[in-house]
Amino acid sequence: MRKLRLWAYYFKHAFASIRGNRLIYLISTGTIAISLLLFGAFVLLSVNFSNWVQSWEKSLSMSVYLKDGVDDQKKEKVRGVIEKLPGADIKGFISKEKALRDLEGTLGAQAGLLAGLTRNPLPASYEVVFRNENLSSEDLKNIKASLEKVEGVDEVQYSEQWMEQIEGMVYATRILGFIVGGLLCVAVLFIVTNTIKLAIYSRRDEIEIYKLVGATDWFVKTPLLIEGAIQGIFGALIALSILFMAYSLLTVRSIQLFGLPVMDFIFLSVAHVALILSLGLVLGLLGSFVAIGRFFRF
C-alpha cells in the first residue's frame, strides 16, 4: 500500500506540473505528435508497398498493350499467339474505354483532372496470367521479345519487370523513412529535454526544499520522468489518431490499374502501433533523463 500511495503521489505531482505549465507542454506534445505522425506515415506507406510487392511475388502476370487503331483481325491474331504460349491464360481484355474508366474510378474525387483530355491516351491490353510459375526471368524476356514482334502489339510488361522497379522504390522509401525518423527522434529528444529543463527551473526552489528535508534524488526525479513519458505517449496517441482518421477518410482502399495486382491499402498492424507508442514512451523518458542528468547525479 505504501508503494501504491507513493506512485499515486508521483503521478499526481506530474499532472499538477503539467497543468501548471500547460502551454509549454501543449507545444511540446504537439511537436512530438507531428514528428511521430510523419514517421508513422512513412511506416504506413512502407508496409503497404511491401505487401503489394509480396502479392506480386505470388503471381506471374503479363500485360500486352496494343497499338492505337488496331483492328479486330489483328486483335484476334494477338490473342491466338498468346493462347499458344505455354501455361498462358488470358484473364481478360481491357479496352481503351475500360482502362480510362478504371483510372477515373481509382482517382475518385480527383477524376475531374481527366476532363481536359481531348483523346483517350490509354492503350487497350490483354491481361495474361501464367499457370506455370517456374518460368525463369530469361523465359519471360524471350516471351516479351517474341510478343512485341507480333503485328499490332505496342509493348509488353510483365510483373517481375515491374516488381524490380517497385522494390527499388520500396527500398528507397525505407531508407528515407529511417533518415527522416532518425532526425525526428533527435528533434523530439531536444524538445522533451528542454521542456523538462523548464519544468525543473520553474520548481528549483521546491526541489531544493525537498532535498533539504531529506528527500532522495529519485523522489524528486520520478515525477519528472513521468512527465516526459506522458508527453511521449500522448504525442504518439495523437499521431496515431490523426493517421487513423486520414486512413478512414480515404475513399479508395483498393487500387488496380491496367491489370496490375490489386493494392489493398491497410492500416498499421497492432505490432506497428505498439512500436510507435513505445517509441514515444522511450523518447519521452530519454529526454527526461538527459534533462535531469544536468541537475542530479544518478
- 153-158 and 61-66 strand pairing: antiparallel
Residue 257 confidence (pLDDT): 47
User: Angle at which helices 217-248 and 22-57 pack, to 10 degrees?
Assistant: 50
Residue 298 confidence (pLDDT): 41
Per-residue pLDDT of the chain (298 residues; tens, 9 = 90+): 677 777 787 788 778 777 877 887 888 888 888 888 888 888 888 787 777 666 665 556 788 888 887 888 888 888 888 888 877 888 888 888 888 787 777 766 666 666 666 777 788 888 887 775 566 667 777 888 888 888 888 888 776 655 566 667 667 777 877 787 788 778 777 877 777 777 777 667 766 777 777 767 777 778 888 888 888 899 999 999 999 998 888 755 555 544 455 557 788 889 999 989 998 898 888 888 877 776 665 4
Q: Where are the alpha helices (DSSP H) in 84-126?
A: 96-107
Q: Who's near 189: CB < 8 A, 6+ residues apart?
A: 283, 286, 287, 290
User: Angle at which helices 217-248 and 270-293 pack, to 10 degrees?
Assistant: 150
Residue 277 confidence (pLDDT): 92
pTM confidence score: 0.61
Residue 241 is placed in which grid cell? 489518431
Residue 11 is placed in which grid cell? 503521478
